[in-house]
Amino acid sequence: MSALWTEALALRRARSLAWVLTRRELAQRHQGTALGIVWPYLQPLLTVAAYYLVFDVVFAMRLGEGAPTRAVGAFLVVGALPWMAFCDAVSRGMNSLIDAGGLLQKNPLPPVLFPTRSVLASSLIYGPLMLLVALAYIPAHGLRPAVLALFPLLALQVLMCVLLAYALAILSAALRDVAQLVNFFLSVGIYLSPILFPLSLFPERWRWVLWLNPMTGLVQGYQQVLLAGAWPPASVWWVTLAWIALLAVALGRLVARSRDQLVDWL
């Protein structure tokens, strides 16, 4: 665990650099385009708009009993947006060390900066979008104090993404195949979560599989808060904190084992 603490301290010392790197990563994602900073926001926004149009306006599909809302599109958007944020942050964070190889080999910088800046850059894109969605959903349930639970949920998601992305970045530095495998899991992961269907629609026997997805807890939390305006059940917090603890322990091990050679692998 001390390895992780050292990393956290290094990150704290280099926080102004982390901020510079984050801004630069944001700039890099739209470098050379005419619309500039609008693009990173426009893409998820258009996807979400398409969900809404297709499911709620064109087909007007309805969910069955036991769902937090009746409209399929509205339900989908609340789960899909944080999932897109998760995929974006994890996959960019995972590749960040390999991408920054040249930089790390020639400058004395703590490696933890790079997965962190990727996750932060993704958060700067998806965080405001989540708040926008939250605003759009207020009329559905009226403004309730439970909406404030959105902030700790977002914070936990950022923390979880940093831990997971850094761990995967170290693993993919050791073996490049890891990135391929993880990308596959990220693309099928949406089916192993209550994003497309509410948890109650899954067969009882198979529900445990959903908890293997670290986002399941958070997605349920978002659905409770945004669709029903209710506080997330305790299970949401426990499951998410358990995932974070698990990832922290695993990351601590990986950092301790790879510390003096990580840069040589890039």
Strand partners, 62: 71
Question: Cβ 43 to other proteins, closest distance in Å?
Answer: 20
Determine the Cα–Cα distance for residues 189 and 196; give it in Å rounded to an integer: 11
* Residue in 33, 180, 187, 261 binding other proteins, rule: CB under 8 A: 261
264 binds other proteins (CB under 8 A): yes
- Considering only residues 16 through 35, tell me which ones interact with other proteins, judged by CB under 8 A: 16-17, 20, 24, 27-28, 31-32
139 binds other proteins (CB under 8 A): no
Contacts of 243 (CB under 8 A, 6+ apart): 160, 214, 217
258 binds other proteins (CB under 8 A): yes
Query: Tokens 């950092």 map to which residue?
Result: 255
Question: Cβ 148 to other proteins, closest distance in Å?
Answer: 35
Q: Cα Rg for the chain, rounded, in angstroms?
A: 19
Question: Cβ 221 to other proteins, closest distance in Å?
Answer: 31
Q: Which stretch binds other proteins (CB under 8 A): 71-79, 86-94, 174-182, 194-202?
A: 174-182
Crossing angle between the packed helical segments 72-99 and 177-188, to the nearest 10 degrees: 170
Question: Cβ 182 to other proteins, closest distance in Å?
Answer: 13
Question: Cβ 88 to other proteins, closest distance in Å?
Answer: 21
Question: Cβ 64 to other proteins, closest distance in Å?
Answer: 43
Compare residues 105 and 180 and give the one whose CB is closer to other proteins. Answer: 105
Compare residues 65 and 260 and give the one whose CB is closer to other proteins. Answer: 260
Determine the Cα–Cα distance for residues 16 and 11; give it in Å rounded to an integer: 9
Long-range contact set of residues 236-244: C-beta below 8 Å, sequence gap at least 24: 239/211, 240/156, 240/160, 240/214, 241/156, 243/160, 243/214, 243/217, 244/156, 244/159, 244/160, 244/163
Query: Tokens 């010392």 map to which residue?
Result: 13
106 binds other proteins (CB under 8 A): yes
* Residue in 107, 145, 203, 234 binding other proteins, rule: CB under 8 A: 107
DSSP state of 224: I
Determine the Cα–Cα distance for residues 12 and 29; give it in Å rounded to an integer: 25
2 binds other proteins (CB under 8 A): no
263 binds other proteins (CB under 8 A): yes
Which residues contact other proteins (rule: CB under 8 A)? 16-17, 20, 24, 27-28, 31-32, 102-109, 170-171, 174-176, 178, 253-254, 257-265
